[in-house]
Amino acid sequence: MPGGGLGFVYADVPALVTHATAQAGSSSGPTAALLAGIGTVLPQTLAAQLGVQKDQLTLDAALLGSKTRRDPGAGGADAVAALPGDSWLALGVGDVGGMLQDALGQASSSGIGAIGVSALEQQFRTQTGLDLQRDLLSWMGDAGIFVRGLNGDVSGALVVHSKDPAASRRAVEKLPALVRSQHGHVTPLAGKGIDAGFTIRSLRSPVVAVVAAGDRFVVAVGKGALHDALAPAKTLASTSAFTQAAGRLGDGYRPALFVDLARLSGLLDSGASAKPALGAFGALVAGAKREGDVIRVHGVATLR
């Protein structure tokens, strides 16, 4: 790698999952069984190198031992590029439903993991009348998340491409039962382009909108987030901050993660402790691609 190295990171991923599960207080029972099973699907080893160049910091990582053959990069990058152009944070994941189904399938293959998967699926079926995998995960394709604004004006959304719009509409029609079981107040939501939808209101929490609209499933929070998730006036792919940062990746990588650190710095109050540090950066981008059995990740943080 050109430039100087800042450090090297090595991690045993299953050990990290086990530790995180214990720290979360889920060291026993169905939840721990489920997490232990899902942990077997994740890459077994992470190795990463940090580097520094004249005008950027870089991260190069390799994830080895993944049990899924899905490519994490292209679909997530497509999802990010289509998100609203004023987003300061955007994250994309390719075929999120397929990846979760792989995880549940792998977890079910072990005795302890099967207990957790069965308990999760039965609880979901009881509360919603939906089969978790057939009625929900099966239609979920590429997914993107965006965040914009700050403090009292923050907004954002999860946008999932539906591989079966009729199935995603049916899911949205049945999900209110799950929300009510968690003591949320549900109100039907209708509007142009919305096939099915509802809003969730609860004390001390912002209003959340959940809709099926054509081939998109959206969960939106904050002013204007739903409208812009469905029909953004400008996408990230058409903004200079995004395209310039994406151009730094090279070698066939496309950004599935984008953080506009310059915009975020501008949104902070002048006295915020993080403002000087963020002000030194332009943007952070990262992408991933599969090479045989190895998933490679490349990230760049530009300096101003």
Burial of 162 (0-12, 13-18, 19+ CB in 10 A): buried
Q: How many domains does the chain have?
A: 1
Higher local confidence (pLDDT), 218 or 114: 218
If you write DSSP's letter for every residue of 45-91 in order, what string do you get? EEEEEEEE-SSEEEEEEEEE--S----SSHHHHHHHHTSBTT-SEEE
For tokens 């509007």, name the residue: 191
Tokens of 187: 């109100």
**Is 253:288 a contact under the CB 8 Å cutoff?**
yes
Q: What average pLDDT does the segment 50-54 reach?
A: 87
Confidence at residue 46, expressed as pLDDT on a 0 to 100 scale = 87
Higher local confidence (pLDDT), 66 or 2: 66
77-133: per-residue pLDDT in tens?
999 999 999 999 999 999 999 888 887 887 777 665 677 778 778 888 888 888 999
- Scored b (16 or more CB within 10 A) or e, 182-219 reads eebebeebeeeebbbbbbbeeeeeebbbbbbbeebbbb
Find the radius of gyration of the CA atoms of the chain: 20
Could you give the CA distance from residue 195 to residue 211 in angstroms, rounded to a whole number?
A: 7
Q: Residues near 90 by Cβ (< 8 Å), separated by ≥ 6?
A: 80, 83, 144, 145, 146, 147, 236, 257, 258, 259
Q: Residues near 45 by Cβ (< 8 Å), separated by ≥ 6?
A: 10, 11, 12, 13, 63, 64, 65
144-203: per-residue pLDDT in tens?
999 998 877 899 999 999 999 999 999 999 999 888 887 779 999 999 999 999 999 877
Q: What average pLDDT does the segment 275-301 reach?
A: 89
Task: Give the closest residue to 254 by CA, choosing from 59, 74, 33, 5.
Answer: 74
Give the domain extent around 66: 4-303
**pLDDT band at 235; cut points 50, 70, 90:** very high
